[in-house]
């Protein structure tokens, strides 16, 4: 659903990380040529990244050189004396930038999987240069004129469908990024982007600082209610931090959430809650409130240069929602139902607290604890009991099984060391077609949490599919933050995390099933790209997966039918909380970007807006403003957080199609349509059109409301 923090790789040219440096000397060029981060990928499967040769000392040089080379290629295209055509302009752009593509992959690993103070130092140097480099492409006047000519010519002489879509989307992207501005406007536009890129780094580094540096240590007599596995990992986490004999509750969701759910130490629950929800908000050198103000002002100024009222209007024009009103309308409909549900949930929890004479009113730091009690009382469902049947290796086999049945993919472990990895915990598989044996790609899985790794779970691709110049196969990855077990121990996964595991694999399947000719069409549409991954979560609770893979980690016994029935019955449980904490963030995201930022003081604004929305005092935003990384550590999810809900409307609607199909969730005919229209084309077909081809009609909100146990609106 909405608990994920994903970063599917976008292939838009402005998304490529990194920039230009003009003072490179000749002998530096020669060194750069030998830089391992720039080297052509060698080894099997059309070459794989040399993750075993990564050295942070090479990053700055490699990046600067790659930016320079890419800009030379772009200039050659822009200044081509021949009349502009699809081939000599747009296709040529697709072919350019291979050095940047390679170095960006390594940069992404350092940024997300293996961050360090050394990396952050280089990143701070490179960010403004990268922003400048991107501006040099997006604002290259001669280049844009060529794209415009091809675009205008195609109005009278349409190109083949895929080429036409590349032209339409690229023209729009350039226009949205300031290509039509005059010289002065372009200059300011580029300056703004440069400033923003530094602010995004500051924002995310501040959050990471507060995640790494605020740790709550417990003594042995403070472990009441916690599971053995949680205690073991807290003990290991304390040892890792030089506090042997203590137990560390780290400041991440994967530590905070189970602690608040199970700990019987009321005061400590409040402390851990406050610590977590104060990330970036501690009135110190790492406070993000002023950073947010500056980001909002710069974003606003930038879209005003382009003639838009606000950032949201500008941003949503190429999304499925098209405009902020459509997104707000959906959110407000669900919000009302969600608030009504919270009231019921709180009343039920308060009754439990009163019955045990706890002497409390339900506060945010009590919510998870009493929700768990309510879950046990009302549904007799014990999350810890569920976990015993959800073991990580079995879950991994389960996703491969689903991929085999639906997508006809086969996953074979690669254990001969021919595919280098950046950490010993990372595992790799070759993906092939089950029938023909044809090579499809390589799947990397980085399952465990470590210092310097971003929290949450996400999917990315190191190389995307393309076919304009021979078949280029996919290198895709999933990344999670499970606590690494002691040798010989099992990783037991909560039901939520199991759904997330399926979710991220849905992104991977979306990568692997791509059949676009041009890489440009492999990019995701933000409010659509969570749909494929959310849909895949639905296969976790199919009988086929349960009977084969959800087995007790000790006895091997299949999850009992009564337990499954309880899980299904409890599916709508706590939806008030889940929907409200998510929607509060999504609504705030939209409010921030539809309001004049001159009037915004984030601390005040958050409070005022939430009060206007009647935000229940027992719940906080899932991501409060000063650590809302989706929105402020970059632009990927700015005015796009609603996209999870937008995509979930499609998810519920599509899942009903499977539930109603003769073969259920493994119906071959419907699976074939799913792949043909909703997975393989990526952005080669307009998403609304693609969905209609799959379903025979547009999606409606009804299935989503049913799934969450909310009343279906009367038309
Ligand atoms: Zn996702």
Between the CA of 2 and the centroid of ligand 1 the distance, in Å, is: 8
Between the CA of 644 and the centroid of ligand 1 the distance, in Å, is: 8
Split at pLDDT 50, 70, 90, the class of 25 is very low
Between the CA of 598 and the centroid of ligand 1 the distance, in Å, is: 33
Between the CA of 239 and the centroid of ligand 1 the distance, in Å, is: 33
Closest CA to 15 of 558, 529, 547: 529
Alpha carbons 147 and 71: distance in angstroms, whole number: 17
pLDDT for the residue 713: 83
In the structure, ligand 1 is a single-atom ion and the residues with CB under 5 Å from it are: 4, 6, 530, 533
The token pair that represents 202 in the structure block: 């500051």
Query: Looking at the predicted structure, is the pLDDT value of residue 29 above 80?
Result: no
pLDDT for the residue 13: 34
CB burial of 677-686 (b: ≥16 within 10 Å; e: otherwise) equals: bbbbbbbbbe
Between the CA of 354 and the centroid of ligand 1 the distance, in Å, is: 39
Its pTM stands at 0.86
Q: Chain-wide mean pLDDT for the chain?
A: 93
Q: What percent of the chain is modeled with pLDDT above 90?
A: 87
| First and final C-alpha spacing in the chain | 26
Between the CA of 528 and the centroid of ligand 1 the distance, in Å, is: 10
Cα–chain center distance at 123: 21
Q: What is the pLDDT of residues 645-699, one digit of tens each?
A: 999 999 999 999 999 999 999 999 999 999 999 999 999 999 999 999 999 999 9
Between the CA of 534 and the centroid of ligand 1 the distance, in Å, is: 7
Between the CA of 424 and the centroid of ligand 1 the distance, in Å, is: 25
Q: What is the pLDDT of residues 400-457, one digit of tens each?
A: 999 999 999 999 999 999 999 999 999 999 999 999 999 999 999 999 999 899 888 9
Q: What's the residue count for the chain? A: 715
pLDDT for the residue 28: 54
pLDDT for the residue 219: 97
Between the CA of 312 and the centroid of ligand 1 the distance, in Å, is: 21
Between the CA of 4 and the centroid of ligand 1 the distance, in Å, is: 6
Between the CA of 159 and the centroid of ligand 1 the distance, in Å, is: 33
pLDDT for the residue 517: 96
Q: What is the pLDDT of residues 179-225, one digit of tens each?
A: 989 999 999 999 999 999 999 999 999 999 999 999 999 999 999 99
Between the CA of 601 and the centroid of ligand 1 the distance, in Å, is: 30
Alpha carbons 106 and 122: distance in angstroms, whole number: 13
Strands of 333-372 (E only): list them.
none
pLDDT for the residue 134: 93
Per the model's pLDDT, the better-predicted residue between 287 and 526 turns out to be 287
Between the CA of 505 and the centroid of ligand 1 the distance, in Å, is: 9
Q: Check: CB of residue 194 under 8 Å from CB of residue 135.
A: yes
Between the CA of 496 and the centroid of ligand 1 the distance, in Å, is: 14
């Amino acid at each position: 659903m909405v608990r994920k923090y994903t970063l599917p790789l976008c292939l838009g040219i402005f998304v490529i990380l990194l920039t230009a440096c003009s003072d490179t000397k000749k002998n530096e060029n020669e060194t750069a040529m030998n830089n391992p981060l720039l080297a052509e990928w060698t080894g099997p499967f059309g070459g794989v990244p040399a993750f075993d040769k990564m050295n942070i000392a090479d990053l700055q040089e490699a990046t600067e050189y790659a930016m320079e080379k890419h800009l030379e290629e772009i200039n050659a295209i822009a200044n081509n004396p021949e009349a502009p055509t699809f081939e000599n302009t747009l296709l040529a752009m697709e072919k350019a930038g291979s050095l940047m593509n390679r170095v960006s992959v390594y940069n992404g690993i350092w940024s997300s999987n293996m961050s360090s103070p050394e990396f952050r130092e280089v990143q701070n140097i490179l960010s403004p240069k990268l922003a400048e480099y991107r501006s040099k492409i997006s604002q290259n006047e001669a280049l844009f004129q060529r794209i415009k000519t091809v675009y205008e010519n195609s109005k009278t002489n349409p190109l083949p469908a895929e080429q036409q879509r590349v032209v339409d989307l690229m023209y729009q992207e350039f226009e949205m990024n300031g290509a039509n501005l005059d010289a002065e406007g372009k200059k300011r536009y580029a300056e703004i982007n440069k400033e923003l890129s530094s602010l995004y780094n500051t924002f995310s580094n501040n959050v990471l600082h507060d995640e790494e540096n605020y740790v709550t240590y417990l003594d042995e007599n403070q472990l009441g209610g916690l599971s053995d596995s949680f205690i073991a990992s807290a003990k290991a986490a304390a040892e890792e931090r030089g506090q042997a004999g203590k137990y560390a509750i780290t400041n991440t969701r994967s530590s905070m959430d189970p602690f608040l759910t199970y700990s019987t130490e009321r005061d400590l629950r409040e402390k851990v809650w406050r610590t977590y929800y104060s990330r970036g908000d501690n009135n110190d050198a790492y406070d993000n409130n002023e950073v947010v103000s500056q980001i909002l002002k710069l974003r606003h100024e930038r879209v005003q240069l382009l003639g838009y009222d606000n950032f949201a209007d500008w941003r949503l024009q190429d999304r499925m929602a098209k405009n902020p009103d459509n997104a707000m309308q959906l959110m407000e409909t669900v919000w009302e139902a969600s608030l009504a549900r919270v009231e019921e949930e709180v009343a039920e929890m308060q009754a439990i607290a009163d019955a045990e004479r706890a002497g409390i009113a339900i506060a945010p730091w009590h919510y998870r604890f009493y929700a768990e009690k309510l879950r046990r009382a009302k549904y007799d469902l014990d999350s810890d009991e569920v976990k015993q049947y959800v073991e990580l290796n079995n879950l991994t086999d389960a996703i491969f099984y689903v991929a085999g049945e639906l997508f006809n993919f086969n996953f074979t472990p690669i254990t001969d060391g021919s595919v280098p990895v950046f950490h010993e915990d990372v595992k790799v598989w070759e993906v092939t077609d089950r029938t023909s044996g044809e090579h499809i790609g390589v799947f990397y899985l980085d399952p465990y949490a470590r210092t310097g790794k971003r929290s949450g779970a996400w999917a990315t691709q190191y190389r995307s599919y393309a076919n304009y110049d021979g078949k280029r196969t996919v290198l895709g990855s999933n990344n999670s933050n499970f606590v690494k077990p002691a040798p010989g121990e099992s990783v037991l996964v909560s039901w939520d995390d199991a759904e997330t595991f399926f979710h991220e694999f849905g992104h991977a399947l979306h990568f692997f099933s791509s059949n676009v000719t041009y890489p440009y069409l492999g990019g995701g549409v933000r409010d659509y790209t969570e749909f494929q991954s959310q849909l895949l979560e639905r296969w976790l609770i199919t009988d086929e997966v349960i009977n084969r893979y959800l087995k007790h980690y000790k006895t091997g016994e299949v999850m009992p039918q009564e337990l499954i029935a309880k899980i299904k019955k409890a599916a709508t449980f706590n939806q008030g909380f889940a929907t409200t904490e998510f929607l509060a963030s999504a609504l705030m995201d939209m409010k921030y970007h539809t309001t004049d930022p001159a009037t915004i003081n984030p601390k005040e604004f958050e409070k005022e807006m939430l009060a206007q929305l009647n935000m229940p005092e027992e719940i906080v935003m899932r991501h409060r403003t000063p650590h809302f990384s989706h929105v402020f550590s970059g632009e990927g999810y700015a005015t796009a957080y609603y996209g999870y809900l937008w995509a979930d409307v499609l998810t519920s609607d599509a899942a009903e199609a499977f539930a109603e199909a003769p073969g259920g969730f493994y119906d071959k005919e419907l699976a074939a349509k799913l792949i043909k229209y909703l997975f393989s084309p990526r952005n080669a077909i307009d998403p609304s059109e693609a969905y209609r081809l799959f379903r025979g009609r547009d999606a409606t909100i009804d299935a989503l409301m049913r799934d969450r146990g909310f009343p279906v609106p009367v038309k």
